[in-house]
Structure 1
């Protein structure tokens, strides 16, 4: 199994509440996030979203598809959304939001391991392409979210980085 840890930072000239609302409304992400083919509600969760399960299907820039469920484990409105992934990849995703510089800073952590054998093989021989693909997908998400927020200006996503796996996390 290949392990990946990705860190992405976005900044939008938009109120934190608007950004938080867009991120928690993931059933609508395919409307603005290129590469996200489908999001399907599996379980509704409680009033705050805890326990909600949704299936995400992504088509990568490299042509392969990823399908995984995300179960929401923590929500602190309007600054934190955390979930556990299970499917083609398994691990955690965490959105942290804070008000900054007249807008909203979004920090995303995605710590996953591949589950399917072909993905582990691909990651082993083509890791730089997998990393490039992730960042390209995130840049598309940033641009799409900026449009979705009514044309909110977004800082260039050049802060995106991948962090080499550190074994356990």
Structure 2
């Protein structure tokens, strides 16, 4: 398996709450994120509990969104498909979302939203390892292309979210 620790930053001239709401609705993402073919809701790991003692905490977690799962179907700029599931493991509205990934990649992703002058600074950290044999075998040579592909897909997300929210995208980058 090949490990990746990638960071993306976007500056969007929209309130943090609006950005958080948009990112909190992954089934809408294909409407504005080029390269994302579809997102399927998998339900919540907290939905079906028969244990009465956990009933209230499970309801609270489900309302907050923890435990929700989604299957993402991507088409990379290089042409290869990528499919993975993300289970929401931590939410702190309106500034943090963390998900556990499994499938073609395994690991975690974290959205962090910070109020910035005139809008919201969005930081996304994607710390995963590839599970597909072809990706692992080609990684010694193709790693820079995989990183470029990720960066291009994330830039597409920034542009799409900016249009979706009708808010200009600023020049906010982050260092690797």
> TM (normalized to structure 2)?
0.88
Larger radius of gyration: 2
Find the aligned partners of 1:156 and 1:139 in 2 and give their Cα distance. 12
Select the structure that is richer in helix.
2
1:14 maps to 14
Are residues 1:83 and 2:99 paired? yes
> TM (normalized to structure 1)?
0.91
Consecutive unaligned residues of structure 1, counting only runs of 5 or more, are 164-169
Find the aligned partners of 2:112 and 2:141 in 1 and give their Cα distance. 32
Consecutive unaligned residues of structure 2, counting only runs of 5 or more, are 47-61
CA shift digits 1:105-164 (9 cap, x unpaired): 1110000000111111122221111111111101100000000002x111136x255x4x
Task: Give the ranges of 4+ consecutive aligned residues of structure 1 lying more than 6 Å apart after TM superposition.
Answer: none
Find the aligned partners of 2:170 and 2:81 in 1 and give their Cα distance. 28
Are residues 1:153 and 2:171 paired? no
Are residues 1:49 and 2:65 paired? yes
1:108 maps to 124
CA RMSD of aligned residues (A): 1.2
Aligned length: 160
Contact 1:55 1:68 in 2 (8 A): yes
Are residues 1:120 and 2:141 paired? no
Find the aligned partners of 2:38 and 2:148 in 1 and give their Cα distance. 22
